[in-house]
Amino acid sequence: MKEKYFTNKQIISMAIMAAAMLLVSCITVPVVLGVAFPGIRCLSCGLFFGLIIALAYAKVPKFGVGTIVTLVCSLPMFFFSWVIPCFTVAAGLCTDIYFLLTGKKLTTVTTTGLGVVLMASMMVIAESLGIWFIDNNAWTSFAQYMSEGWRVAVGFFGSGILGGIGSFLATRIFKEFKSLRNHG
């Protein structure tokens, strides 16, 4: 049989990570749904998403992990709105491109960058799609949106920072678990 790009074990690891991402978003996002702040949904789940995506890459260090994890975790979101899977998968793809550009090396710095890229790109793409679809004149509402630039900046940088913190914590966690094997 033709050798597959991902082994079954790797697919299962990614699926479990996707389940964890879905669980976290189901817990954190409804809490902040009513708050009108740019990127509030990304801010609420940034830390955990950053942690989980970094664990996924640490377990399966291959191009495509970000896209697959976000695709699998966003399938139930189709039930609510098809926009959600769109921006989630797009953010996953951005993370994959970043992973490729770093030469697929998972140092502490590059792993932290995974969370930053995922959450910052998710915030930007989600908000852009939201502006495009909610108002029928995208440019007018984009201008309105940016008129309070500080809020957008807080949302953007906040999401990126939280995602980065989550990924950084994942590097420490993975190092701790790796040392377990040496203890026997």
Partner 1 sequence: MDAIEVKGLCVKRGNRQIISDLSFCVERGSFTVLSGPSGCGKSTILMAIQGLIGEEEDSSATGEIRVNGNLVTLQKRDDSMISYSGFLMQNVDAQVVNLISEDELVFGMENRGFSPEEMEKRSREYEKLFDIQPQKEVLHLSGGQKQRLLIASCLCTGHDVLLLDEPFANLDRAGVEKLRSVLRGCCAQGTTVLCVEHRLEEVCQIADRVLWLEDGDLSDYREDEMRIFCQNRAEILNVSLDWNCNPGSGLLSVRRLNARRGKNPVLQDLDMELQENETRLLLGPNGCGKTTLLRFLCGLSKFKEFSAEALSYEGKDYRSRFLYGHLRKQVGFVFQNPVHQLFMKTVDEELLLRGADGKSLGQLLDIFGIAHLKDRHPYSLSMGEKRRVSVAAAAASGAKLFLLDEPTIGQDYGNLLHIAQSLHELQKRTGNTLLLSTHDTLAAKLFGGKDIRVEQTGTSAESNSGA
Partner 2 sequence: MGKRIYRMHPVLKMGLCVLTTALTFPCWNPFRILGVCGILMALQLADYRPGIWRSFLIPFAVGGVMTGISYGLSKDLSGSACSGLHFSVLLLSSFYMFQTSPSELLRGLQSCRLPDQLQLAFLVMYRFVDVLREELASICQAGSMIDRKRIGLIKKGYRCILIPFSYRLLTLSDQLSLSVMSRDFGCQKRSNYRENPIRFRDAQGFLLLGLACVVILWMPLK
In terms of phi and psi (left: phi > 0; alpha: psi -120 to 50; beta: otherwise), the region of 81 is beta
- From the list 161, 82, 87, the residue with the least C-alpha distance to 124 is 87
Provide, rounded to whole angstroms, the least separation between the CB of residue 101 and partner 2.
25
> 10 Å Cβ neighbour count for 21?
23
Q: Which of 53, 72, 91, 116 binds partner 2 (CB under 8 A)?
A: 72
Cα–Cα dist 62/60, whole Å = 6
The answer to whether 5 contacts partner 1 (rule: CB under 8 A) is no
**Does residue 114 interact with partner 2 by CB under 8 A?**
no
Residues 6+ away with beta carbon under 8 Å from 131? 138, 141, 142, 145
Q: Which does 181 bind (CB under 5 to 8 A by kind): partner 1, partner 2, none?
A: partner 1
Select from 7-15, 26-34, 85-93, 101-109 the region that touches partner 1 (CB under 8 A).
7-15
Query: Going by C-beta distance under 8 Å and a sequence separation of 6 or more, which residues neighbour residue 93?
Result: 66, 67, 70
Query: What does the binding site for partner 2 look like in residue numbers (CB under 8 A)?
Result: 1, 4, 6, 8-9, 11-20, 22-23, 26, 51-52, 55, 59, 68, 72-73, 75-76, 78-82, 133-134, 136, 169-170, 173, 176-177
Residues that bind partner 1 (CB under 8 A): 1, 4, 7-9, 176-177, 179-184
